[in-house]
């Protein structure tokens, strides 16, 4: 913990010199893609003395980028954006999915794109930055139903079996059919083109939106596992191979695809979820084809597997320390700002999970340029940050006070 405290002290010193600003992007009425300047164009990266790279405004002030994920379930209202802003948050991560945006090949859902414009308009009105997250869980709608992730028309399962586990949705990633679908997405030229076309289309639609900071290029990437995924060594080897090979190639394609339409947006790459188990990423560095300085960032998630499975957090397990050690070397080596795209327990009403939130907030102050917690909603547990009457949920007080 001494290392974390020292890094935090250096950060506070740097912030005092540079200034810290909570103001968001330019506000203004009208269709988001038709007005400017875009938030991304005003945001630069600065590496501090402690090695952490932060995001700064055009006056060199460190941006206070804290906030929440929203709209995976199409529930977000203007009142939600207003309340987020009023609570002092300045960043939202908006989930979109390929199946919703392009339900049939080359047919884009104009109503869905209009909703995305509307969300960005509200974000700009309330001076919030927005990251658009290309979201997926267990590949897509073909396996989990609904309209999340990749569309059925972009799913090739080789006729292999898929048996969902109602008690463990994540286990679906290890099903043969799902692994085949990921393999085809990474390898098949026509699916590569289709995915790249989607990203170019969305970037063309949204470029110039005042609230738009950038894109999280692929949520929680996964891929084939050769061997028993219950063996940690097998899983780690598969993750490393994916990150060095197929996933890195995908990110290069998607960076190029976005840059065909937008040279200003920040582009965030994610490692596999094994970083949450203390396994450092094996992603290579990436080159940004835009003129001028690169605008590429790193967007790991910060979840404890045992807590995700429903247990109360055990502070003696060393999770936060192992995660911090695993997550920091890659962005420091490549001078990338870290945006923790997802973090938070299913509920913080228990003592251990409440302490986990406090520890995570402390850790992120030392290595992250910003974060978006999962999830802005009202409810009793289920990751909701708010109670049904709109107050901070039990254990979430430090999030709203940070």
402 residues of the chain, pLDDT tens digit each: 323 223 333 333 333 333 456 667 866 544 443 343 468 889 999 999 999 999 999 999 999 999 999 999 999 999 999 999 999 999 999 999 999 999 999 999 999 999 999 999 999 999 999 999 999 999 999 998 888 899 999 999 999 999 989 889 999 999 999 999 999 999 999 999 999 999 999 999 999 999 999 999 999 999 999 999 999 999 999 999 999 999 999 999 999 999 999 999 999 999 999 999 999 999 999 999 999 999 999 999 999 999 999 999 999 999 999 999 999 999 999 999 999 999 999 999 999 999 999 999 999 999 999 999 999 999 999 999 999 999 999 999 999 997
* DSSP H helical ranges for 245-350: 246-259, 305-308, 319-334
Instruction: Note the pLDDT tens digit of each residue in 242-251.
Output: 999 999 999 9
Per-residue pLDDT at 21: 62
HSE, side-chain direction, 13 A CA sphere, residue 155 = 28
CB 350 within 8 A of CB 315: no
Q: How far apart are CA 246 and CA 145, in angstroms?
A: 26
**Which residue reads 């960005």 in tokens?**
120
**Which residue reads 């405290």 in tokens?**
5
Per-residue pLDDT at 16: 33
CB 314 within 8 A of CB 293: no
Spatial strand order of the sheet with 44-47 comes to: 20-21, 62-63, 53-56, 44-47
CATH number of the domain enclosing 153? 3.20.20.80
The closest of 92, 96, 73 to 81, measured between CA atoms, is 92
Per-residue pLDDT at 166: 86
Per-residue pLDDT at 4: 29
Provide the number of structural domains found in the chain. 1
CB 41 within 8 A of CB 262: no
Range of the domain at 283: 2-401
Per-residue pLDDT at 145: 85
Q: How far apart are CA 73 and CA 92, in angstroms?
A: 15
Strands annotated E in 169-283: 212-216, 266-269
Angle at 290 between CA 285 and CA 291, to 5 degrees: 115
HSE, side-chain direction, 13 A CA sphere, residue 312 = 8
Per-residue pLDDT at 202: 98
Per-residue pLDDT at 29: 45
Phi, psi of 32 (to 5 degrees): -60, -40
The predicted model scores a pTM of 0.92
């Amino acid at each position: 913990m001494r290392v974390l405290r020292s890094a935090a002290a250096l950060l506070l010193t740097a912030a005092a010199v540079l200034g810290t600003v909570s103001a968001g992007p330019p506000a203004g009425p009208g269709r988001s893609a038709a007005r400017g300047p875009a938030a991304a164009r005003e945001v630069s990266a600065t590496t501090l003395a402690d090695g952490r790279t932060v995001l700064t405004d055009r006056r060199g002030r460190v941006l206070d980028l804290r906030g929440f994920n929203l709209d995976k379930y199409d529930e977000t209202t203007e009142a939600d954006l207003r309340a987020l802003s009023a609570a002092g948050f300045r960043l939202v991560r908006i989930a979109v999915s390929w199946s919703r945006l392009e339900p049939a090949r080359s047919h884009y859902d104009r109503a869905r794109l209009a909703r995305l414009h509307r969300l960005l308009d509200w974000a700009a009105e309330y001076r919030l930055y927005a990251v658009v997250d290309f979201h997926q869980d267990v590949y897509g709608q073909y396996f989990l139903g609904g309209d999340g992730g990749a569309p059925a028309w972009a799913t090739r399962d080789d006729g292999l079996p898929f048996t969902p586990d109602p008690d463990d949705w994540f286990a679906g990633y290890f099903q043969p059919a799902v692994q085949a679908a990921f393999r085809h997405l990474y390898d098949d030229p026509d699916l590569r083109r289709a995915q790249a076309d989607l990203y170019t289309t969305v970037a063309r639609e949204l470029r110039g939106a005042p609230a738009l900071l950038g894109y999280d290029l692929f949520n929680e990437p996964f891929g084939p596992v050769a061997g028993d995924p219950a063996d940690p060594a097998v899983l780690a080897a598969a993750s490393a191979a994916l990150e060095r090979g197929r996933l890195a190639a995908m990110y290069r394609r998607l960076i190029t695809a976005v840059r065909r339409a937008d040279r200003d947006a920040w582009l965030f790459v994610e490692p596999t979820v094994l970083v949450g188990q203390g396994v450092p990423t094996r992603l290579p560095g990436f080159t940004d084809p835009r003129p001028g300085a690169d605008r590429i960032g790193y967007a790991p998630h910060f979840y404890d597997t045992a807590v995700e499975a429903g247990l109360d957090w055990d502070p003696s397990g060393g999770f936060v320390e192992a995660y911090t050690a695993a997550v920091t070397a890659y962005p420091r080596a490549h001078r990338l700002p870290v945006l923790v795209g997802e973090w938070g327990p299913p509920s913080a009403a228990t003592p251990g999970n409440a302490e986990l939130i406090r520890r995570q907030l402390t850790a992120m102050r030392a290595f992250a340029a910003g974060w978006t917690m999962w999830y802005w909603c009202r409810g009793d547990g289920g990751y909701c940050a708010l109670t049904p009457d709109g107050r901070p949920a039990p254990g979430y007080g430090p999030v709203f006070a940070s």
